[in-house]
């Protein structure tokens, strides 16, 4: 990143990450031959942190700071269990507040769908955690005898499924969509009707394509990355 603006990014599977030569080459290519002064690590998989730290060091990045959520002068909060707040939720909230102001609602649509609320004072209040779209589909397959696993479709998913696959996709996607709209509407009663919704995460485009409407809303695919940078800047 340059400042708080993302310049380049790539996605790597866990299997690829375990292949040291390949992952190291990807990191070096991302740096483009330039000297990188510092790296921030936002992880919700603790067992991979040392592996990633070693890869970054091998790529010549010696200053590495892992994001550890905590109440601070730049992150006022009323959340009672900061020790279990996910680093991804923390980074999303921090970036949204700094970039879009307060109050603000942040929805991260990934393995879990999380809703995070910042009030007009800039204080993080907490939120809600629910199964994500793909997690719901996998749970239905694994916890039932006959339902197949249905991958979420990037195309239009009808509300009324015409077969079992469509019915599963409709349930996972549209339940998520309408639940989000209802939850956000109720939360806005507490912090203001005009509070913007900031969407991020891999399943956000799928939910938007399905008709998710929580106006005013903004999709920011780079929100987590921005949060890491703000954390590094404010921590010094």
Q: Is residue 88 flagged as an active site residue?
A: yes
Predicted confidence at residue 227, as pLDDT, reads 95
Question: pLDDT for 46-95, tens place per residue?
Answer: 888 988 888 888 888 888 999 999 999 999 999 999 999 999 999 999 99
Predicted confidence at residue 198, as pLDDT, reads 98
Q: Quick check: helix, strand or coil at residue 186?
A: helix
Q: Which of 88, 108, 119, 156 is catalytic?
A: 88
Give the residue carrying structure tokens 């996910």. 86
Q: What is the reported pTM?
A: 0.90
Instruction: Render 50-119 in DSSP notation, one character per residue.
Output: HHHHHHHHHTT---EEE-----BTTB-B--S-GGGS-HHHHHHHHHHHHHH-SSEEEEEESSEEEEEEE-
Report the distance separating Cα 1 and Cα 80, nearest Å: 32
The rounded percent of the chain whose pLDDT value lies above 90 is: 69
DSSP 32: T
Predicted confidence at residue 89, as pLDDT, reads 97
Predicted confidence at residue 13, as pLDDT, reads 83
| Low-confidence spans in the chain with pLDDT less than 70 | none
Predicted confidence at residue 37, as pLDDT, reads 78
Predicted confidence at residue 129, as pLDDT, reads 97
């Amino acid at each position: 990143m340059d400042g708080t603006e993302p310049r380049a990014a790539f996605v790597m599977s866990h299997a690829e990450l375990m292949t040291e030569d390949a992952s190291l080459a990807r990191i070096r290519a991302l740096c483009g031959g330039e000297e990188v002064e510092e790296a921030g690590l936002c992880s919700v998989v603790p067992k991979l942190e040392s592996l990633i730290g070693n890869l970054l060091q091998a790529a010549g990045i010696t200053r590495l700071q892992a994001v550890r959520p905590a109440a601070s002068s730049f992150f006022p909060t009323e959340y009672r269990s900061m020790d279990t707040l996910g680093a991804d939720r923390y980074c999303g909230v921090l970036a949204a507040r700094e970039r879009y102001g307060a109050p603000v609602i942040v929805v991260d649509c990934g393995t879990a769908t999380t809703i995070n609320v910042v009030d007009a004072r800039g204080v993080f209040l907490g939120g809600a955690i629910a199964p994500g779209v793909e997690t719901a589909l996998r749970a239905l397959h694994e916890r039932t005898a006959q339902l197949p696993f249905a991958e979420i479709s990037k195309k239009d998913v009808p509300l009324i499924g015409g077969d079992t696959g469509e019915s599963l996709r409709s349930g996972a996607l549209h339940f998520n969509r309408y639940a989000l709209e209802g939850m956000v509407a109720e939360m806005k009663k507490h912090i203001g009707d005009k509070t913007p919704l900031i969407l991020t995460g891999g399943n956000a485009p799928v939910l938007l394509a399905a008709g998710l409407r929580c106006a005013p809303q903004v999709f920011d695919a780079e929100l987590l990355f921005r949060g890491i940078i703000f954390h590094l800047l404010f921590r010094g």
